[in-house]
Structure 1
Amino acid sequence: MPRRYYAARAILAVLFLCTAFVGGQTKAQPSPEIIARGKALTEAADCASCHTADPSKPFAGGKRIDTPFGAIYSPNLTPDRDTGLGGWSDDDFYRALHEGIAPNGLRYYPAFPYPNFTRITRDDVLAIRAYLATLTPFRNTRPPPELRWPLNHRVVMRAWDWLFFRPRTFVPKPDKSAEWNRGAYLVRGAAHCGACHTPKNLFGANKRGRAYGGAPVAGWFAPRLDGAERGGLKSWSVDDITEYLQSGRNGRSHADGLMAEVVVNSTSKMSDADVHAMAVYLKDLRARAPEPVVAPPPPTQMADGQKIYRGACIACHEMDGSGAPRIYPPLPGNANLQSADPSSTLRIILDGAETVTTPRAPNSGSMPAYSEKLSDQEIADVATYIRNSWGNASPAVTPAQVAKARKQQ
């Protein structure tokens, strides 16, 4: 046969082998180190709290999340191909966290904190994806959103993003320490602290210039994380903040409500170095907005509140409010107690409380509920008393505020 024929056959054979080799290649599997980093970031982001409705199906989504605009249901983060992330590419996942856009091009609602997650680096986003891919896949189709018009049309989110959102990756500040920058990266990014602790405008976006200034959330008040003297972290040390995030309590306060869930599912699982870095960053936040000027409460309300306190609270919190630190929180100088918004204080009085338990702080204490034992006026009086005794100063509580809190039970 002609030499040209054999040459052509040889070329075709080489091309076939090359094609077979390339086609047979599989994507390199993430290393154990990358998966471990992704797990740590997933815990820092507290993904389990929002994406687990059924504890037997972790991360399978379907949990109802109430917002001022209606309810949404969290998506499935497990690697199920039909209802979860199994069919997503790396680019799909990165675009979701960085731009707030789903693989089908629809915009997410900011109840999914992509305005915070946008700061996470691509490498870290893909590490999170690598960890989620190791989870047990569960098939779970979530209900559709239950939002009011016009937000029930996702196209509206194009305008929201145009007004209030710009994709950006965290850029370290060269004049700050590596630890400060690590803390800023976590607080502003994965841990998305501002999603709850920053006040929102009428459209549900962060108010400009009010970062970490405290905000109402699901019947509670997420307190200020800035350096405000009474309701913020000015009196807390870096060690105080670290202990609180790791154990859910310190010598000044206890975590309750949604924050207790954050501690159990997120911050108590983070590394010592990362939690300390977050504390360093938070302690450095200056107060951007002044605290309200507080007028002394009516003397009669203080006297009535003191009577109730002596009858119902003194056994655990002591006459001087000192309590039993890390079991029954002290009341003097308590930043949560002195928040301008009394919602969290009222929730605890109405519903009672259970000290959050973590591996670092397994012992617990409890407080009974007083919703059936005290009237709106009595709860307003005792709340006003503890918010304005022992050097505390906060606006007086009204029966109308208590009645509103009751409706949110």
Structure 2
Amino acid sequence: MKRALTALALLAGLLAAAAFGLLAWQRGLGDATPPSAAPVSLARGAYLAAVGNCAGCHTARGGVPLAGGRAIPTPFGTAFSSNLTPHASGLGGWSRDDFWRALHLGLGRDGRLLLPAHPVTNTTLVTREDADALHAWLQSRPAVDAPRRAHELRGLYGSQLAIAAWRALYFRPAVYRPDPARDAAWNRGAYLAQGLAHCSACHAGRGPLGGDQGAADFRGGLLAGMGWQAPSLLDPAEAGVQRWAPGTVQRWLRDGHAGGHTAQGPMAEVVLGSTAALDGADLAAMAAYLRALPEQPAARPAPAQPDPRRRERGAGLYREHCAACHGEQGEGRRDEAGAPAYPALAGSRLVTQGSAANLIRVIERGGFAPATAGHPRPYGMPPFAGVLDADDLAALASHLRESFGNRAGEVDAVEVLRLRAAAAAH
């Protein structure tokens, strides 16, 4: 008995030592990159903040821009974004080096590991020059007293030890290095998409611990707590643009509307808060990078068993609620000037994606494209959450996915309820 207790004590001691060693290793990550010698431009910092959509996450709904407090749903609970204004409750007193360590190493000013809700696997790629410009611009903003709201994470997920373990699995500091086999435009697009624009923060395929395959992981997946599916950027049948003309991709990034495709949900926010701000050269660069991504079909879940009565019910709901705008055959409608007004559902990628999540979400919550300079008065779609129950939603979605030439498979009420549960936190 005494030997067993001794062995257990020894094992506990070894585990504790390993844990403290892991934590010390992660906190001790160092970087000798000096501040940039180039003059710091506030205009450049403002541009980079727009490209990175800093205000998108660091502004609470209805709150002061950049003062933090926005709820960030994760599979492990809810995180709340921090204050980026130069108040003591935010970035007040932060030096350029402090800010660089936060972006590059995911370390707070006090040396604590930042929660991976901060996209450190992307921001680590940002150059020191860009980090310094962004820091200078943030320090020029009005100071707002907005203390950080405590994260609401389950169990030990928010502990420093858990974060250290996650980082040991998924994080390696590395500033972006241009690929000599690619041209300057592709490299600039890769730097933007993988780094500050952090496309993989949504479009990565994540494992059970929330890890991905790196900043160029664009396999897509369900956004936890939001109920939206980030479609794969590798699959032309989902969100891949490999077969689009360069100009179409650039208009889509700038306007959120091009070639009959309209940004919805979280992507509408990204266009409005980020890609619409890209200048012409960066639009072309990001388009070049996205068009060059390898094509890889996304996994498609098994559809529900065909049900003629469900389809018949869906056809009736379509005639009652949808046909007036989207056309009897899902062909869409144009406005008086001949411009697309209500999108076609025939061949729509939102309708035919492997997951019906985004289709269900739009029917329930409504469809609202971003109002941008190139598309200032987009048509919207009202929500039907209070009109259609789960059986109705399944019937209508099934009709859309299996009509007008679409062959995406039916959806049953169980899948609708599952997707509702996935959206319950947002």
Offset of residue 54 of structure 1: 5.9
Give ranges in structure 2 of 5+ residues lacking alignment. Answer: 1-34, 335-339
**Counterpart position of 2:273:** 265
Contact preservation (8 Å) 2:365, 2:383: yes
Residue of 386, 391, 398 corresponding to 1:384? 398
Of the candidates 355, 360, 369, which is equivalent to residue 374 of structure 2? 360
Residue 303 (structure 1) aligned to one of 309, 312, 320 = 312
Query: Does structure 2 retain, via aligned residues, the 8 Å contact 1:226–1:283?
Result: no
Q: Does 1:139 align with 2:176?
A: no
CA distance in 2 between counterparts of 1:370 and 1:205 reads: 35
148-157 vs 52-61, which moves further:
52-61
Tell me which of 269, 272, 282 is aligned to 1:274. 282
Where does residue 134 of structure 2 map in the other structure?
Answer: 128
The one-character-per-residue Cα deviations of 1:35-88 (angstroms, maximum 9, x if unpaired) are: 2221111111110011112656211112221211111111111111x1121211
- In the alignment, the residues of structure 1 paired with residue 184 and residue 106 of structure 2 have an alpha-carbon distance, to the nearest angstrom, of 28
* Aligned twin of 1:77: 84
Corresponding position of 1:221: 229
Give the AA of the match of 2:312: A
Letter in structure 2 aligned against 1:292: R
Q: In structure 2, what is the equivalent of residue 110 of structure 1?
A: 116
Is 1:339 equivalent to 2:353 in the alignment? yes
Match of 1:101 in 2: 107
Q: CA deviation at 1:185?
A: 0.5
- Matched ranges for 1:6-405 at <5 A: 31=39, 34-53=41-60, 55=62, 57-80=64-87, 82-207=88-213, 211-217=217-223, 218-229=226-237, 232-292=240-300, 298=306, 300=308, 301-324=310-333, 326-405=340-419
Where 2:261 maps in the other structure, the secondary structure is coil
Separation in structure 1 between the aligned mates of residue 410 and residue 36 of structure 2, nearest angstrom = 61
Kept after mapping to 2: 8 A contact 1:30/1:130: no
Q: Supply the distance in 1 between the matched residues of 2:238 and 2:70 (Cα, whole angstroms).
A: 35
1:17 aligns to what? none
Structure 1 CA distance for aligned equivalents of residues 153 and 254 of structure 2: 36
Per-residue Cα deviation, 1:350-370 (whole angstroms, up to 9, x for no partner):
122233211211112121222
Partner of 1:4: none
CA distance in 2: counterparts of 1:262 and 1:221, whole angstroms? 14
Q: What secondary structure sits across from 1:119 in the alignment? A: coil
Q: Which moved more, 1:285-294 or 1:161-170?
A: 285-294
Structure 2 distance, partners of 1:371, 1:28, is 52
For the residue of structure 2 that corresponds to 1:125, the secondary structure is helix
- 1:264-296 per-residue CA deviation (whole Å, 9 max, x = no partner) reads 111112212212211111111113355438779
RMSD: 2.5
Once the two structures are superposed, residues 348-391 of structure 1 have per-residue CA deviations (whole angstroms, 9 ceiling, x without a partner) of 11122233211211112121222222231221121122123333
Q: Which runs of 5+ in 1 are unaligned?
A: 1-26
CA contact (8 A) 2:36 2:128 kept: no
- Cα–Cα, structure 1 residues 306 and 54, in superposed 2: closer, same or farther, change >3 Å? closer
Greater Cα radius of gyration, structure 1 or 2: 1
CA distance in structure 2 between the aligned counterparts of 1:370 and 1:389, rounded to whole angstroms? 20
Question: Residue deviations 1:169-205, cap 9 Å, x none?
Answer: 1111122121111111100000000110111101111
Q: Which is further off, 363-372 or 192-201?
A: 363-372
Separation in 1, partners of 2:326, 2:122: 38
Letter in 2 for 1:250: A
Relative to structure 2, which stretch is displaced further, 247-256 or 188-197?
A: 247-256
What SS does structure 1 have at the residue aligned with 2:73?
Answer: strand
Give aligned-pair identity as a percent: 36
Hey, what's the Cα distance between the residues in 2 that align with 1:215 and 1:296?
A: 20
Shift of 1:213: 1.5
**TM-score of the two chains, using structure 2 as the length reference:** 0.83
- Whether contact under 8 Å (1:251, 1:329) holds in the other structure is no
CA drift at 1:93: 0.7
Structure-2 change in CA distance of 1:51 and 1:159 (3 Å): same
Number of aligned pairs? 381
Partners of 1:370 and 1:102 in 2: CA distance: 44
Q: 1:362 to 1:208 in 2, by over 3 A?
A: closer
**2:311 alignment partner AA:** M
